[in-house]
Structure 1
Amino acid sequence: MLELYQFELSHYSEKVRLILDYKGLPYRKIEVTPGVGQVELFRMSGQRQVPVLKDGNTVIADSTAIAMYLDRQYPDRPLIPVDPKQKGLCLALEDWADESIGLKSRKVLFGAISQNQNFRTSILPSNTPDVVKTLVGAVPGEVLNILGLGVGYGPDAVQSATTDLRQNLEAINLILTESPYLVGDYPTLADFAVAGLSMLIKFPEGPYLDLPETLKGKGIPGFAENVAYETFFNWRDRLYADYRKPLSANTTAGGTGSTPTAIEID
């Protein structure tokens, strides 16, 4: 069985999970605990970031590389259009989604976490000890802003990312106004990239992720509930309803004994 080394709240992992479900491929999720160590995954893949897919003796890192591998190895329900123009649009949109929605939504999420204590603790993994949740919630927003400066997530960067992300969602809304999918009349890699990478903006409502019930359907204030993006989120909900498998329907959870102990999330 395919093994996906992942982080449940990694939107790049969600992009791969959508693709696996669309292709009807059963897989075993192996949850990677962030911040503790990275030896096992590094030894296996040569890098420290998720997602990583293991197919027998073949190991593939990076969500785009995984998508391309799956399309070659499991060609049923292809991700890439045959038509040259549609293929070009698909690949361009997928790359744009990775570099724009994928990166900018993390910065905007960081800004929301810095300003909202309840939101900050609510997105911690469900197995986080209460004492850790208390400590995380007690960190002043000003301290997080200072820490964010060191990794490019300072207030100015967050504000710039917020402006760009609004424009990105407006653009997707326009594309979807008269089209069921981003490129043509059936879903492609572009659709699964955009849908999966938008996970941090607004978490899906259905039973797709191991999240507290209070988080499902919620997301970044100013985005998740904004009616201006209703077309986009309705489209994403339909994509999930049509292709995303509920928890435990097509996956099995990895045992703790085989789980790497830490990871840099990407």
Structure 2
Amino acid sequence: MLELYQFELSQYSEKVRLILDYKGLEYRKIEVTPGVGQVELYRLTGQRQVPVLRDGSRYIADSTEIAKYLDLQYPARPLIPTDPKKRGLCLMMEEWADESIGIKGRKALFSAISQNQNFRKSLLPRATPDVLKSLVEGVPNDLLKVLGFGVGYSPDAIRSAIADLKQDLEALTLLLADSPYLVGDEPTLADFAVAGLSILLKFPNAVYLNLPETIIGKGVPELADNLLYQPFFTWRDRLYAQYRRPLLSYTTTGGSSAPTSINID
């Protein structure tokens, strides 16, 4: 069985999970513990970042490379068009989504959790002990903002990211106004990249992640609750309903409702 080394809240991991579900491939999620788990992952793959896909003895890092690998090894339900123009547009939009929605979405989410303690608590996995949830909820908002400076998430950087994301969502809403998908009449890698990476802006309207159900439909203020972008999120949730397997449909042997901890031999 395929194994996906991941962070549950990583939108790049979610991009791969969406692709795996679209292709109908069974896989096991392995949650990498930040720090020690990443060291173990580096020992095997030379890569500390997730997602990493294991297929037999092969390890494939990076969500884009994983998508290309899956298209070659499991060609049913292809992700990348063969038509030259559609292929070029698909690859360009996927790269844009990675660099824009992916990176800026993290800054926007940081802004949301630094202002809302309940939202912050809701992002913890379901199995998180109550005492840890209380500690996380109790972190002062001002302290989080100070920590944000240390990772490049200053107020100015966050405002700029949110402004850019508003333009991104407007553009996507316009592109999808009279088309079922971003590139032609069939879903492609561009659709799954945009949809998966957008989860940090507004979480889908069903249980797809190992997070409390209270997170469903919640997201970044100014983005998740803006009626101008609602057509995009409606499209995204429809794509999820079509192709993403809800968490409750998994069993412990064919995919997993909750990821196991990393355990590398």
TM range, smaller chain: over 0.9
Aligned residue number for residue 103 of structure 1: 103
Amino acid in the other structure paired with 1:235: W
Q: Work out whether 1:251 is the aligned partner of 2:255.
A: yes
Aligned residue number for residue 168 of structure 2: 168
Amino acid in the other structure paired with 2:255: T
Question: TM-score under structure 1 normalisation?
Answer: 0.93
Amino acid in the other structure paired with 2:146: I
Q: Secondary structure at the match of 1:198?
A: helix
Q: Which runs of 5+ in 2 are unaligned?
A: none
Superposition deviation, residue 35 in structure 1: 4.5
Superposition deviation, residue 193 in structure 1: 0.1
| Rounded Cα–Cα distance in structure 1 between residues aligned with 2:259 and 2:149 | 35
Pairs within 5 Å for 1:47-86: 47-86=47-86
Query: Does the 8 Å CA contact 1:31/1:259 hold for their aligned counterparts?
Result: no
Pairs within 5 Å for 1:51-200: 51-200=51-200
The size of the alignment, in residue pairs, is 260
- Greater relative contact order (Cα < 8 A, sep 6+): 1
Superposition deviation, residue 187 in structure 1: 0.3
Aligned residue number for residue 264 of structure 1: none
Query: Does the 8 Å CA contact 1:29/1:254 hold for their aligned counterparts?
Result: yes
Q: Secondary structure at the match of 2:174?
A: helix
Superposition deviation, residue 254 in structure 1: 5.0
Q: Deviations over 1:143-183 (max 9, x none)?
A: 22221111111111000001001110000000000110001
| Rounded Cα–Cα distance in structure 2 between residues aligned with 1:104 and 1:184 | 27
Q: Secondary structure at the match of 1:49?
A: coil
- The 10-residue stretch of structure 1 (218-227 or 246-255) with the greater mean CA deviation from structure 2: 246-255
Aligned residue number for residue 25 of structure 2: 25
| Percent identity between the two aligned chains | 69
Q: Which runs of 5+ in 1 are unaligned?
A: 261-266
Q: Secondary structure at the match of 1:24?
A: coil
- The 10-residue stretch of structure 1 (28-37 or 86-95) with the greater mean CA deviation from structure 2: 28-37
Q: Work out whether 1:227 is the aligned partner of 2:227.
A: yes
Aligned residue number for residue 213 of structure 1: 213
- The 10-residue stretch of structure 1 (74-83 or 115-124) with the greater mean CA deviation from structure 2: 115-124
Superposition deviation, residue 33 in structure 1: 2.5
Query: Does the 8 Å CA contact 2:119/2:215 hold for their aligned counterparts?
Result: no
Question: TM-score under structure 2 normalisation?
Answer: 0.93
| Rounded Cα–Cα distance in structure 1 between residues aligned with 2:219 and 2:191 | 20
| Rounded Cα–Cα distance in structure 1 between residues aligned with 2:64 and 2:38 | 22
Superposition deviation, residue 139 in structure 1: 2.2
Aligned residue number for residue 263 of structure 1: none
- The 10-residue stretch of structure 1 (221-230 or 74-83) with the greater mean CA deviation from structure 2: 221-230
Superposition deviation, residue 83 in structure 1: 1.1
